[in-house]
Amino acid sequence: MSLILGVAAGCGSTEAAPPEQTAAETSAAAAAVTAPGRTQLSFTAADGTTIEYVLVAPAGFRRGGTSPVLLALPPGEQGQEEVDAVLGAYWEDEALARGWVVISPVAPEGELFFQGAEKYLPDLLTEARGLVQPEGGAFHLAGISNGGLSAFRIALDHPELFRSLLVLPGFPPSAEDFDGLDELADIPVALYVGEYDEDWREEAERTASELDRLGGEVTLVVSPDEGHILRKVTGAELYDFLDGAR
């Protein structure tokens, strides 16, 4: 319910699949999972498209168990290279240390997750439920750059799936998305952006102001002396927000 303007400082075992699973959940439950660490997985959508994704599982991961789960959408072309890079930069180490599960998908055939491929993300999360149940029944959501645009798009399309939203940077990718921000007024939203990333900062500030006007719980963090790539923001800082939103 408050707008927080901040400046960033420098910076398992196998169990039987649960009953009443969908085909996607059964497929996921059959997969071998490395814990602790990364597992490369995939599923086939109803239209025949294959979606590759990485699952990061902490020590003690229990198939079918309950954990906080983060859907992390990558930047740029949203390919495997970008997925691997940002897992290393932000998401993996703290997930393993704090007991989080991370799911990070690869955009299919260059179709970005805010330019059509977002239609596959609900099915991806259904697939993931075959491996892990998200704490509280909903997922946390994060995205970087194009992943930040994608995060706003999927959160606005399916707000019931998510319990927090974190972007670095990101904003609603269309005027229609911006006009629907009231859908996010009930979940914590954090927007990180570089001081010198002028266009993205302007949009982040506009988004934060609108969420505040709507009564949302919004945090805007401007990272000093940085442009579009945020090197001073740490994974620990991001997970502090995510843990606070649990």
pLDDT at 198: 98
pLDDT at 32: 85
- Please tell me the number of Cα atoms within 13 Å of 168 on its side-chain side: 25
**Ramachandran quadrant class, 70 (left: phi over 0; alpha: psi -120 to 50; beta: rest):** beta
pLDDT at 30: 56
Q: Can you say how many angstroms the Cα of residue 112 is from the centroid of all Cα atoms in its chain?
A: 15
pLDDT at 14: 35
Answer whether 142's CB lies under 8 Å from 167's CB. Answer: yes
* The amino acid at 131: L
Going along 188-237, which residue ranges are E strands?
A: 189-194, 218-223
Could you give the CA distance from residue 230 to residue 201 in angstroms, rounded to a whole number?
12
Could you give the CA distance from residue 220 to residue 216 in angstroms, rounded to a whole number?
12
pLDDT at 62: 93
- Ranges of residues in the chain with a pLDDT under 70 are 1-31
Superfamily of segment(s) 3-11+19-244:
Alpha/Beta hydrolase fold, catalytic domain (3.40.50.1820)
* The two structure tokens encoding residue 21: 């699973």
pLDDT at 139: 98
What are the boundaries of each domain within the chain? 3-11+19-244
Sign of dihedral through CA atoms 145, 52, 15, 36?
negative
Q: How many of the other CB atoms lie within 10 Å of CB of 19?
A: 5
Could you give the CA distance from residue 72 to residue 239 in angstroms, rounded to a whole number?
12
* The two structure tokens encoding residue 65: 């168990």
Tens digit of each residue's pLDDT (9 = 90 or more) over 75-86:
999 999 999 999
pLDDT at 11: 39
pLDDT at 45: 94
* The amino acid at 81: E
Could you give the CA distance from residue 150 to residue 146 in angstroms, rounded to a whole number?
6
Is the bond preceding 19 in cis, omega lying within 30 degrees of 0?
A: no
Answer whether 151's CB lies under 8 Å from 183's CB. Answer: no
